[in-house]
Structure formats: structure tokens, C-alpha cells
Structure 1
Amino acid sequence: MTTQSVGRALELLQHLAAGPRSLDECAQRLGVHKTTVLRLLQTLAEQGFVSHDERHRYRLGRTVFALASAALEQWDVRGIARPHLERLGAATGQTVHLAAHEAGQVVYIDKIEARSGIRMYSRIGLTAPVHATAVGKVLLAAMPGPAREQAARGILYTRFTDRTITTAADYLAELNRVRAEGFAHDWREHESFVNCVAAPIRDGSGAVVAAVSVSVPTVSLDADEVLALVPTLRGAAAAASADLGWPAPAAADTTEGVS
């Protein structure tokens, strides 16, 4: 494939990630003739990246799922943290996320669904904004000072709700609070009906390699009740960190910030 063809093929895969699409819909997305798109789809189908049904609607194929699975397995923290996420979900009854920082965005790498009530739209592999999520704040707060400031000043501060942080100055002040307190919160900043708290997970070197969060619909618990979950959340983060080689809570001060 040429560079242009590779770019179009990748755009097609991203388009199909939202659901099955017809040839016409794919051509419209790329803005090229259907014959060009058909050749791309046929090439992708030969390698298992796409498949199509009897109505000739194209969808992601087996190779994409195999690659996604392999990519997730490369996140060692995911497998190690999983039992702690499950216990956190059982203890709180709420949605639990595990997230990492990738190319300026939050990427959800694992999720435990709430036992009951409203289910979160989030899913494994989905990205989220760093400035409007508790996990994003935890992950950026862990950066060294110059990198943290550069990252904060490079964010496009999209407003999602009337509570979203919209300036670099306000975001940097929030990151300083996160570093001081050792956890982050998102009070209806990304979704108007969800409050969230998050804490860092560290590896053996002390580096923050992921963030774990508890997300709660406002109809389930109010902000004070969500804050009451923070000790349980931090206990789960500390236990996962211990399994990654960072000192266990008994040997380390868990009230320490995320620096």
C-alpha cells in the first residue's frame, strides 16, 4: 500500500469501530470513489482486518480483535491489577476503571461494571480527555514539573459540562491539589450525571503507570458519599502497586501525594 492508502485503511478501521458500515457509507467517510474503497476493503479482508455479511455491510474482523487482545496483554499492570479492581467493584458496587496515559489522552484498559443501576458508556480501549476526568488528572499530576506544565498548556480545553476546567492555569492548580492529596476527583466535569474519584497505581520504581477510579451516577450517591469511597479506592490502588513492586501500605505512607 502507498502512504495514502495506509492512511485511508486506518481511517476505515476507525470508522468501522463505531459499527458495521455499507460500502456507500465507507466511501462517503473517505470522500473517494466506491471502487477505491472496495479495493481497500478487499485487501483488509484478505488479512482478516474486516469481514462482511450477506448484506455487504463491513465490520471489524478477527485480526483486529487478536491485535487488541495482544495489546492489552502487553499492559502488565492490567493483569496484576484485575483482582484488586474486582474487589473494589464488589466493595463499592460501582463502576471501576483502570486507565493509562497514551498520546495525550486517557485510555481505559480495564473496567468492572457496576452491580446494578446505570451503566457507564465507557468501554475498554475508549479514550477520554485528560482535563475532565479524575483518572486523567491523576496521570498528568504524576508527570515531572516541566512536562506537566507543557502537557497542560497543550490541551484543547473542550467544555463538556458547566463544571469542566477550561484553562491551563486552573488545570495546573487542580493538578497541584491532586499531588498534595494523592487522589483526584471529577465532579460532573465530563458527564453531567457522574461523579468520579481516582488514585494512582505505581510500579516498583514508584512511577505512576495507571490510575484506578470509581465512577458513580449522581442519582446513586452524592459527592460526599463518593468521597467516602476514597479510602477503599486508595487501598485497592496501594494493593495493586504492592503487587507491582511498590512498598505495601504497611511499609509506605499511603497519604503521600502522587509525585
Structure 2
Amino acid sequence: MRDALPHGTYKVQALDRAFAVLDLLGESDTPLGLAQVASSLQLHKSTAHRFLMVLERHHMVERTGNGKFRLGLRLFDFGNRAIEQYDLRDRAQPHLRRLVTETEETAHLCILEQAHVIYIDKIEPGRSVRMITRIGASNPVHCTSVGKAILAFLPEERIAEVIRRTRFERFTHRTIATPEALRAEIEKTRRRGYAVDDEELEEGLRCIAVPVLDAQRQPVAAVSVSGPSFRVTAQKLPAIANHLLQCVRGISADMGFISGNRSSRTTAWSA
């Protein structure tokens, strides 16, 4: 049940209580037991227990060896991603503009959200035939170059989780349709250092992408170059990949992820 508040905001009791639990654990210097959480928030123990179980299932809180609760490391991950994404788009802009000038095709900057990629920026060339996308839109990982580029450099447990969440919807006759085929494509992407959407999302459209890696060499985003397949040909892909690599290395350097003096080998940051 949602109640209107005087200042035009809204109250969702379950969410408010969940955040109250997180606030309480965050303010405590030591893990708290169920009784302490219930007493501090003036909740019945059964109610407090339900909230803690749900938060634990989503790794927002974790249980210690003696059964007490503390904040989970997923919150640390969320915090890092929020900081990165807040700055990422602004810092990427000059590099994306240079990439578009070099390739004369559309550039996208995307992040991973569950089993989809979200387009957080887009820069277009001055050509009449361009890719029709919008900032804020999303597409599945299995049929996008940005999705496959990010997947290829995630830890195995994250890859498995994303694949488990993926609905292998077919968009063209080239669309990857099974977990096994996606894993094979991930391995190919990892070996060559860049991912390709070969008319898998839309007929006549080819895209190539490279991940933006953080200081731990984990993907925080991906940058793609997209265009009609008659211009973005298979023969041009290695050259475009080199431009992409320089772009993402520049973004990572500006974000403070790398020193900027690594080798420029395309095989995705293997140097």
C-alpha cells in the first residue's frame, strides 16, 4: 500500500522498513542479532526476520558465524558502480567523439543490468544511414556486441547468473538461441578481444564492441561501433577494433583505472 506524504513524496512501507534495516546495520560498529534489529526498529521478531531473510537472499546483508547480521558486499559493489557510472558518461564523451570521427559510424556506451545492456550514451556521425537507438533503452545481452563484450570478461559466477536470467529470444535468423551457443561466442570474444553482433539483433546491422575495464580488469561498461553491414564489413572489423581499444583505454585512463602506459594490443587488454 502506498501512502501520499505532505511533500508530494511517497511511502512504501516494506521498502522503508528494508532501508531502515540497512541503515541500522550500517550505523552499527558490530554485527547485530535478530532481537537487536527487531527492538531497535520496533518490529515484531517475525517481521524483522522476514526482512533480513529477503535482504540476505539478495546479498544485501550477510550472516556471521554466530548468526548475527551485517551489511553484504553487494552494497559495496553497488556503491562502486554508482560512482563509476556517475562519472563515466562525462569522461567518455571526448573519446566517443574521437571514435566517431575515426570510424564515421555510431558509437554507444553501455552498462550491464541483469541480463540486459542499457545505452547510457550515443554519438552519431553525420551520415544519412545511421542506427536508430535512444539513450536509456535496453537490449538483451545475447544478441548485442556490448552485451557479449561485457560477459566475456566477467567472473564465471557472474556469467552463469546472467545466462540463467537470459531469455534467448530470436530477433533474426542469426540470433544466438541457446546458452551453449552464447558460451561459445563468449569464448571467441575472449580470445580475439572484441565482440561482434553480426546482424543478430537487426537485419542489415553489424556492431563491434570492446569492454571498459576497471583497475581489477573487470568490465564496468562497453563501447560499440554500429553501422549498416554494407559499411561495417567483416574485413573492417580488426581496424575498427583497434580504434575501439584506444577509445576504451582512454576512458579507463581518465577514470583512473589504468596508468595509460600499457601495450595497445587488441586482444582485450591481455597486455
Q: TM-score, normalised by structure 1?
A: 0.68
* Match in the other structure for 2:148: 137
Q: CA RMSD in A?
A: 2.6
2:99 matches 1:119:
no
Q: Shift of the alpha carbon at 1:155?
A: 1.0
- The letter of the residue matching 2:154 is M
* Match in the other structure for 1:246: 257
- The letter of the residue matching 2:243 is T
| Structure 2 residue corresponding to 1:110, chosen from 121, 134, 150 | 121
Q: What are the within-5 Å matches in structure 2 for residues 1-259 of structure 1?
A: 2=2, 74-248=85-259, 250-252=261-263, 254-257=265-268
Please give the per-residue CA displacement for 1:134-163, whole angstroms capped at 9, x wherever unaligned. Answer: 000011222211221232133110000110
- Distance 1:73-1:240 versus aligned 2 partners, 3 A rule: closer
Q: Shift of the alpha carbon at 1:81?
A: 0.9
Q: Relative to structure 2, which stretch is displaced further, 220-229 or 138-147?
A: 220-229
Which structure 2 segments of 5+ residues have no match?
A: 4-9, 13-81
Alpha-carbon separation, structure 1, partners of 2:216 and 2:148: 20
Which structure 1 segments of 5+ residues have no match?
A: 8-70
Alpha-carbon separation, structure 1, partners of 2:232 and 2:224: 15
Q: Relative to structure 2, which stretch is displaced further, 134-143 or 146-155?
A: 146-155
Q: Which runs of 4+ in 1 moved over 3 A?
A: 71-74, 252-259
Alpha-carbon separation, structure 2, partners of 1:86 and 1:201: 16
* Match in the other structure for 1:68: none
Please give the per-residue CA displacement for 1:221-240, whole angstroms capped at 9, x wherever unaligned. Answer: 42222443111111111111
Please give the per-residue CA displacement for 1:166-214, whole angstroms capped at 9, x wherever unaligned. Answer: 0000101111111222210111011111111000112233321110000
- Distance 1:151-1:249 versus aligned 2 partners, 3 A rule: same
- Distance 1:248-1:105 versus aligned 2 partners, 3 A rule: same
Alpha-carbon separation, structure 1, partners of 2:143 and 2:238: 17
Q: Shift of the alpha carbon at 1:220?
A: 2.6
Alpha-carbon separation, structure 1, partners of 2:124 and 2:132: 10
The share of aligned pairs that are identical, in percent, is 39
Alpha-carbon separation, structure 2, partners of 1:136 and 1:178: 11
- Higher Cα radius of gyration: 2
Asked if the contact 1:179–1:258 (Cα under 8 Å) also holds between the matched residues in 2, the reply is: no
Alpha-carbon separation, structure 2, partners of 1:142 and 1:225: 23
- The letter of the residue matching 2:2 is T
Asked if the contact 2:115–2:163 (Cα under 8 Å) also holds between the matched residues in 1, the reply is: no
Alpha-carbon separation, structure 2, partners of 1:176 and 1:251: 23
Q: Shift of the alpha carbon at 1:256?
A: 4.5
Please give the per-residue CA displacement for 1:98-133, whole angstroms capped at 9, x wherever unaligned. Answer: 000113210000000122031211110000110000
- Distance 1:74-1:149 versus aligned 2 partners, 3 A rule: closer
Asked if the contact 2:150–2:222 (Cα under 8 Å) also holds between the matched residues in 1, the reply is: yes
Alpha-carbon separation, structure 2, partners of 1:145 and 1:135: 18
Number of positions where the alignment pairs a residue of Structure 1 with one of Structure 2: 195
Asked if the contact 2:163–2:179 (Cα under 8 Å) also holds between the matched residues in 1, the reply is: yes
